[in-house]
Amino acid sequence: MQIFRHIPATLQSPCALAIGNFDGLHLGHQALLSKLIQVAKTQHLISAVITFEPHPREFFTPESAPTRLCSLREKLEHFAAAGVERVYVCRFNQSFAKVTADEFMQNILRHALNTQAVLVGEDFRFGAKRAGSIQDFVQSGFNLISLPQVDSSQGNNEGTRVSSTRVRMALAAGNLQEASSLLGRPYSMSGKVVHGAKRGRELGYPTANVHMRHERPALSGVYAVKLDGLPSVANLGIRPTIVGVPKLLLEVNVLDFSEDLYGQHVRVEFLHKIRDEMKFDNLDALKTQIGKDVAVARRFFAAS
C-alpha cells in the first residue's frame, strides 16, 4: 500500500476514492471500503482513500474534540488489511480549512488525484464551513457512490446506526461486547514495546510497556486482553499509586509468559473490563489487587 503525506503535484493514475475520517474503522467504514475495492476492481481503477490528520474537530475545537479510537498508524494498518492500494493523508490545517467545496472537487479530486469514482457516506459534508454535500459531487459530474448508514443488529441496539460516537460511548461505559459488535472485531490498540520503570517486575508481575499514540484514549482501567493472541491483563491509565508525574501508560502482563518482547510492534485486544483504575495506600495493597485482577482474567479466559 502506498502512503502519501500530501496531495501530489502531478496527475495520479485513475482511481476510485473513498473519503472520510475513518476513526475506529467500524462496520460502516468497512462496508465503504469493501465497496471501494469492488468498484476499483470492476472499473480497473486504483483503490484509494483520503483521510484527514488531525481530525477536523481536533483542529477547530481541541478542548471538546472526541477521543480518538485509533491512531493514524492503526488506521493505516486497517486500510492495508482491507486491501486499499493508496492512501492520501491530508494535513488538516488553517490553509486546508479554507479550501472551498468546489476547490476540493476540482483541484484535488479531479486535477490531482484523477478521481473517477467517489465513495462517501450519505451524510458526508466537505469544504470550508462544511458547505459541500453529496449533491455537489453529482452536479460536478463525478461518478458518486453514496452508501447508506449501517445499522446494528445486536440486542437492544438493533436498528440503530453504527457510528464512531457509539463505539466511544460503549468503550467509556466498559461495554466491550457492544463495542466489538459495532467494530466487527474486538477493540484494540497497537504499539511498540518499550522499556519502562520495571515497576511491574518489582511487584512480581512483569509487564510489557506498549508505547501509545493515544493522548486521550476512549477507555481506561484494568482489562483482560490478548497481546498478539496471548491471554494477558492490561492497565491503561496513569498509575495513581506510583509516585511521580502522571503519565498515560498501557502496561500488559502476559500470563504464563517470560520471553523478551522489547522492540516488537504488538496489538492489544481489549476483551473484558475488570475494574476502574484505583489509587492504593501502598504498593503491597496494589500487589494484592493485581493478584486478584490476574485471577479474574484467568477465569474469564477459562470460560471463553
Reply yes or no on whether the pLDDT at 129 is more than 50.
yes
* Residue 278: predicted pLDDT: 86
Instruction: Place 246 in a pLDDT band, splitting at 50, 70 and 90.
Output: low
pLDDT for residue 243 is more than 60: no
Q: What percent of the chain has pLDDT over 90?
A: 68
pLDDT confidence band for 199 (50 / 70 / 90): low
Q: What pLDDT, on a 0 to 100 scale, did the predictor assign at position 133?
A: 94
Give the pLDDT confidence score for residue 204 in this predicted structure.
64
Average pLDDT of 211-224? 87
By CB neighbour count within 10 A (0-12 exposed, 13-18 middle, 19+ buried), where does 242 fall?
Answer: middle
Proportion of the chain above pLDDT 70, given as a percent: 92
Task: Note the pLDDT of residue 63.
Answer: 82
**Mean pLDDT within 261-274:** 94
Q: Tell whether the model's pLDDT for residue 180 goes beyond 90.
A: yes
What's the full length of the chain, in residues?
Answer: 304
What is 209-244 written as a DSSP string? EE----SSBS--EEEEEEETTEEEEEEEE--TTS-S
Kind of pairing between the strands at 208-210 and 115-121: unpaired
Which pLDDT value is given to residue 212? 81
Q: Residue 159: what pLDDT?
A: 59
Q: Is residue 155 scored above 50 in pLDDT?
A: no
Does residue 16 contact residue 45 with C-beta atoms inside 8 Å?
Answer: yes
CA 276 – CA 274 distance, rounded (Å): 7
Residue 89 in grid coordinates: 493523508
Average pLDDT score over the chain:
90
Q: Is the pLDDT of residue 158 over 60?
A: no
Nearest Cα residue to 235 out of 164, 302, 289, 192: 289
Could you tell me the pLDDT band of residue 164, with boundaries at 50, 70 and 90?
A: very high
pLDDT attached to residue 114: 96
- The per-residue pLDDT for 59 is 83
Question: Are the C-beta atoms of residues 60 and 129 closer than 8 Å to each other?
Answer: no
Rg (CA), the chain: 22
- The pLDDT score that the predictor gives to residue 284 is 85
Could you tell me which residue, 275 or 281, shows the higher pLDDT? 275
Q: What is the mean pLDDT of residues 83-94?
A: 95
pLDDT of residue 269: 97
Residue ranges and CATH numbers for the domains of the chain are 2-147 (3.40.50.620), 186-303 (2.40.30.30)
Mean pLDDT, to the nearest integer, of 284-300?
Answer: 93
Q: Give the residue-averaged pLDDT of 143-149.
A: 91
- Taking the C-alpha atoms of residue 84 and residue 163, their distance in angstroms, rounded to an integer, is 21
Q: Which cell numbers in the block locate residue 198? A: 520495571
- Measured CA to CA in angstroms, residue 246 lies from 36, 222, 237, 243, 249 at distances of 43, 17, 9, 8, 9
Own/partner long-range contacts of 198-203 (Cβ < 8 Å, ≥24 apart): 199/239, 199/242, 200/251, 200/253, 203/283, 203/286, 203/287, 203/290
pLDDT in tens, 32-77: 999 999 999 999 999 999 999 988 888 888 888 888 899 999 999 9
Please provide the distance, in angstroms rounded to a whole number, between the alpha carbons at the two ends of the chain: 35
